[in-house]
């Protein structure tokens, strides 16, 4: 019940200002956010790489309100690519980009976002890596998938993300799997209306399994984005049944969540990619992590109270 309330709060500017400024917030935030700058985050990336983990990097920020802000977000990714280049990690360190950060919600936003993200994908390609387009709220899905499709004409390794809570996603999976692309499947982290999305957790999980089956049986590269032990086991089983080798799919989890399980899967020979978010604009990302697990909220409130 708490989840939807926290998700609504994640859109409040007043709360954003209050919570972002509270000094005691920081230790809790640090569990999920790897650093405030690329320089502060680079050591964590190298450590994870040396432990056999792969990463996808997210420069935090979303819902930009003017083109200059979108340009700044694009430049933050270009700076990240400059730092990644010498590390020579190739696709072991890719990037996740939110198109709302690239200006998608502005007037003429589809084209602005396409132009900005194209610059990032070109630079990523030049250092031997790639980009995955994060999924945001349902009103953006058509534009995001159209941009994904346009990018794949020149950069076929560009990844898409689909959310099992949306009714449309099984069909999207069918199309994406047939096209051979890299597809991350997640449950979905936004507050969506009953007209477009399953509201019941069990329905979302069942839809996840249906979508995963389509992806595993298809021609693409499935990326299983979940911490759910049941879905991870089902993912392994479906991959095996579809005749996939360990290199033909991967698991993905968020930085700071089920870290021991991340290491366990990597040690078993699975490709395990950690989604590492960094930057100063962490509020929306952090609130979605709280909404996913009420126990995180209790921990957060205790920290605010100084206990």
* Residues assigned a catalytic role: 134, 184
The verdict on whether residue 126 carries a ligand-binding annotation is no
d(CA 161, CA 184): 5
State the Cα–Cα distance between residues 68 and 82, nearest whole angstrom.
21
Could you tell me which of 86, 81, 120 has the C-alpha nearest to residue 101?
120
Query: Which range touches ligand FAD (CB under 6 A), out of 8-16, 21-29, 47-55, 291-299?
Result: 291-299
Q: Which stretch binds ligand FAD (CB under 6 A): 46-54, 111-119, 151-159, 180-188?
A: 180-188
Q: Give the Cα-Cα-Cα angle 1, 292, 208 (nearest 5 degrees).
A: 100
Asked if 189 interacts with ligand FAD (CB under 6 A), we say yes
Say whether 235 counts as a known binding-site residue: no
Rounded to whole angstroms, the Cα distance separating 120 from 134 reads 14
Half-sphere exposure of residue 263: CA atoms within 13 angstroms, side-chain side: 7
Q: Does 284 bind ligand FAD (CB under 6 A)?
A: no
The reply on whether position 198 binds ligand FAD by CB under 6 A is: no
Check whether 293 is labelled as a binding-site residue.
Answer: no
189 is in an annotated binding site: yes
Is 226 annotated in some ligand binding site? yes
Q: Judged by CB under 6 A, does residue 109 bind ligand FAD?
A: no
In terms of Cα–Cα distance, which of 63, 82, 64, 160 is closest to 120? 82
| Residue 249 Ramachandran class (φ > 0 left, ψ -120 to 50 alpha, else beta) | beta
138 binds ligand FAD per the rule CB under 6 A: no
257 binds ligand FAD (CB under 6 A): yes
Task: Let me know if 21 is exposed, middle or buried by CB neighbors in 10 A (0-12, 13-18, 19+).
Answer: exposed
Q: Is 163 in the site for ligand FAD (CB under 6 A)?
A: yes
CB 98 within 8 A of CB 136: yes
**Could you say which of 222, 225, 235, 284 contacts ligand FAD (CB under 6 A)?**
225
CA trace torsion 234, 240, 245, 246 (10° rounding): 30
Task: Point out which span in 35-43, 211-219, 232-240, 249-257 binds ligand FAD (CB under 6 A).
Answer: 249-257
40 is in an annotated binding site: no
Closer by beta carbon to ligand FAD, 190 or else 282? 190
Residue 292 to residues 112, 120, 212, 256, Cα–Cα distance (Å): 31, 30, 21, 13
Q: Does 275 bind ligand FAD (CB under 6 A)?
A: yes
Q: According to the binding rule CB under 6 A, does residue 104 interact with ligand FAD?
A: no
Whose Cβ is closer to ligand FAD: residue 85's or residue 282's? 282
Closest separation in Å from C-beta 86 to ligand FAD: 25
The verdict on whether residue 175 carries a ligand-binding annotation is: no
- Residues, the chain: 307
| Residue 206 burial (CB count, 10 A) | 13
Query: What is the C-alpha to C-alpha distance for residues 33 and 29, in angstroms, rounded to an integer?
Result: 6
Site size with ligand FAD, rule: CB under 6 A: 23
Q: How far is the CB of 228 from ligand FAD (least distance, A)?
A: 4
Stretch that binds ligand FAD, among 68-76, 77-85, 151-159, 254-262 (CB under 6 A): 254-262
Which residues contact ligand FAD by CB under 6 A?
134-135, 161, 163, 186-190, 225-228, 252-254, 257-258, 275, 289, 292-293, 296
């Amino acid at each position: 019940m708490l989840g939807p309330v926290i998700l609504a709060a994640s859109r409040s500017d007043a709360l954003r200002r209050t919570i972002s400024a509270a000094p005691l917030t920081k230790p809790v935030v640090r569990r999920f956010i790897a650093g405030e700058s690329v320089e502060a985050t680079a050591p964590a990336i190298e450590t994870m790489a040396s432990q056999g983990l792969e990463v996808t990097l997210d420069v935090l920020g979303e819902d930009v309100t003017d083109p200059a802000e979108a340009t700044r977000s694009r430049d933050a990714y270009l700076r990240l690519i400059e730092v990644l280049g010498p590390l020579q990690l190739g696709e072991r360190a890719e990037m996740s980009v939110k198109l709302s950060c690239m200006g998608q919600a502005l007037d003429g936003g589809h084209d602005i976002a396409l132009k900005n993200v194209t610059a990032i994908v070109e630079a990523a390609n030049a250092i031997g890596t790639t980009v995955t387009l994060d999924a945001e709220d349902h009103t953006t899905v058509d534009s995001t998938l159209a941009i994904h499709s346009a990018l794949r004409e020149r950069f076929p390794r560009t990844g898409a993300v689909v959310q099992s809570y949306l009714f449309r996603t099984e069909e999207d999976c069918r199309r994406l799997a047939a096209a051979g692309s890299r597809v991350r499947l997640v449950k979905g982290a936004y507050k969506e209306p009953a007209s477009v999305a399953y509201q019941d957790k069990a329905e979302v999980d069942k839809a996840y399994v249906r979508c995963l089956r389509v992806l595993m049986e298809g021609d693409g590269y499935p990326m299983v984005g979940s911490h759910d032990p049941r879905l991870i086991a089902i993912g392994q089983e479906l991959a095996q049944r579809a005749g996939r080798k360990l290199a033909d799919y991967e698991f993905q989890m968020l930085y700071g969540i089920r870290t021991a399980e991340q290491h366990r899967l990597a040690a078993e020979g699975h490709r395990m990619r950690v989604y590492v978010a960094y930057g100063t604009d962490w509020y929306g990302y952090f609130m979605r992590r709280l909404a996913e697990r009420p126990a995180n909220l209790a921990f957060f409130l205790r920290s605010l109270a100084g206990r």
